[in-house]
Amino acid sequence: MEQAIMAGGCFWCTEAVFRDVVGVSEVESGYIG
């Protein structure tokens, strides 16, 4: 998979979880819509 868009609550809490996932090369938070 090249890209996945996830929805979550707190930006920084969600980023922290995904930064530790093996295979994830980049994490970026922002607003959609």
Residues noted as catalytic: 10
What does the alpha-carbon distance between residue 11 and residue 2 come to, in Å, rounded to a whole number?
A: 21
Over the range 5-22, which residues count as b (16 or more CB within 10 Å of their CB) and which as e? eeeeeeeeeeeeeeeeee
